[in-house]
Amino acid sequence: AIGDFEMILEEHPEVLAYTRTLGEQQLIVLNNFYGRDTVVKLPEYLTRKDSSILIGNYADAPAMANEIKLRPYETITYSISAE
């Protein structure tokens, strides 16, 4: 694999979350594997950066914030500057 992979929110019981970084490009991937809403609290060092939604399986994915409520089986990928 090309680039760096880092697990985040490893203690969250319902969400698989990680970053992928290559050069100046960084992706944050959030996956809710359960049929109910769940809230994730992202590390501050990630949410201080400008971000955009790259892809999601709901048409109205939430903007990146310190706290994000993921809907049942929701997956969102945010693109941020790696700086």
- Kindly give the confidence (pLDDT) of every residue in the chain, 83 residues in length, as a single tens digit, with 9 standing for 90 and above: 688 999 999 999 999 999 999 988 899 999 999 999 999 999 888 887 788 999 999 999 998 899 999 999 999 999 987 66
pTM for the model stands at 0.90
* pLDDT at residue number 38: 96
For the chain, give the secondary structure using H, E and C. Answer: CCCEEEEECCCCCCEEEEEEEECCEEEEEEEECCCCCEEEECCHHHHCCCEEEEEECCCCCCCCCCEEEECCCCEEEEEEECC
* pLDDT at residue number 47: 82
